[in-house]
Amino acid sequence: MAAATLVRRLGRSGVLPLCCRPPAWDRARGPPPSPLQPPGLPLAPCRSFSNNKIQVELDESSGVAMMKFKSPPVNSLSLEFLTEFSISLEKLENDRACRGVIITSALPKIFSSGLDITEMCGKSVEHYSEFWRAVQELWLRLYGSNLVTVAAVNGSSPAGGCLVALSCDYRIMADNPKFSIGLNEAQLGIVAPFWFKDTFVNIVGHRIAERSLQLGSLHPAPEAHRLGLVDELVPEEKLMEKAAAVMAQWLALPDHARQLTKTMMRKAVLDRLVAHREEDIKNFITFISKESIQKSLRMYMEMLKKKKS
């Protein structure tokens, strides 16, 4: 499907309205429906599967899925959220009708507030292990995805939220200086693991990543764009339209060539975590279990609550 057609059809919401979706065979994916198909049966060109945390809608005619985070108040990445996210990605990855996914938030002003801090406070070693494995799993799936992945960042996106965006192929952010993005772990007194850092370095380069990570900077959208942390800024109301246009551009290429190129670019970084996965979990547990780190996290949570009052 031509880029302009996809954009027109996806429109502002980014979801193709049922009334104007072409039949499922429009993408030359195989023969048209059998003439034996009972007349009047819908071709079901759109599949959706939602859970408590994430809503996914796959438009089979374009091959584009829309994944929306919907976990109030701030889309924090809890164990449940991470698990649902990985399952949703796996479903799309295994669905032959899907070629790309646009990731965004259904909540106003927040893309994702990052890892759920309460999952890292006052819990058992077993819980920390399970939680960290889920964080690793999500990153391995998203960064290593064969799909075209576009992040439509429609709100603030600190730490783990930033990692989700960084793991996509392309980032478009709403042009609002109140929205910020970055790996701010240092501000919480914690340290982003090597694979967060590697993902960041691959996008902005070593110098910018070094300064930004050491300072735990959260960059307002215009600054994030200047640093190359996001690829484009657009007015918020144009975000989904733009994401659909970018997706169409990336889908215009043959999948196999793009996928092999992506693997070539990302494999070393992915392999590094795969090779050191258990060690990375042990490191996380040792670090997060320290009383000094627990204290920092508790203070940070208190600061968030105080900020409200």
Ligand X SMILES: CCCCC/C=C/C(=O)SCCNC(=O)CCNC(=O)[C@H](O)C(C)(C)COP(=O)(O)OP(=O)(O)OC[C@H]1O[C@@H](n2cnc3c(N)ncnc32)[C@H](O)[C@@H]1OP(=O)(O)O
Positions marked catalytic: 115, 160, 184-185
User: What's the DSSP call for residue 236?
Assistant: G
- The CA-based angle 122-125-131, given to 5 degrees, is 85
Estimate the share of the chain in helix, then strand, then coil, as percent rounded to the nearest 5. Answer: 50, 15, 30
Residue 69 CB, nearest approach to ligand X (Å): 12
Q: Which is nearer to ligand X, 62 or 75 (CB)?
A: 75
Among 39, 40, 42, 73, binds ligand X (CB under 6 A): 73
User: Within 178-207, which residues bind ligand X (CB under 6 A)?
Assistant: 184-185, 188, 190-193
Among 156, 167, 199, 217, binds ligand X (CB under 6 A): 156
The DSSP string of 160-190 is: HHHHHHHTSSEEEEES-TT-EEE--GGGGT-
Q: Which is nearer to ligand X, 30 or 108 (CB)?
A: 108
Residue 4 CB, nearest approach to ligand X (Å): 36
The three-class DSSP label of residue 54 is strand
Using rule CB under 6 A, residue 144 touches ligand X: no
Residue 104 CB, nearest approach to ligand X (Å): 16
Among 116, 169, 198, 280, binds ligand X (CB under 6 A): 116
Q: Which is nearer to ligand X, 241 or 280 (CB)?
A: 280
For residue 152, the cross-strand partners are 172
Alpha helix (H) residue ranges in 94-219: 125-143, 160-166, 194-204, 206-215
Using rule CB under 6 A, residue 74 touches ligand X: yes
Using rule CB under 6 A, residue 63 touches ligand X: no
Q: Which is nearer to ligand X, 195 or 250 (CB)?
A: 195
Among 113, 145, 199, 217, binds ligand X (CB under 6 A): 113
- 127 burial type by CB count under 10 A (0-12 exposed, 13-18 middle, 19+ buried): middle
Q: Which is nearer to ligand X, 12 or 290 (CB)?
A: 290
Using rule CB under 6 A, residue 107 touches ligand X: no
Among 61, 62, 71, 76, binds ligand X (CB under 6 A): 76
- 271 burial type by CB count under 10 A (0-12 exposed, 13-18 middle, 19+ buried): exposed
Q: How many CA atoms lie within 13 A of 240 on its CB side?
A: 18
Using rule CB under 6 A, residue 118 touches ligand X: yes
User: Which secondary structure element, helix H or strand E, spans residue 291, and what is its range?
Assistant: helix 291-308
User: What's the DSSP call for residue 109?
Assistant: E
Interacting residues toward ligand X by CB under 6 A:
73-74, 76, 110, 113-118, 156, 158-160, 184-185, 188, 190-193, 284, 287-288, 301, 304-305, 308
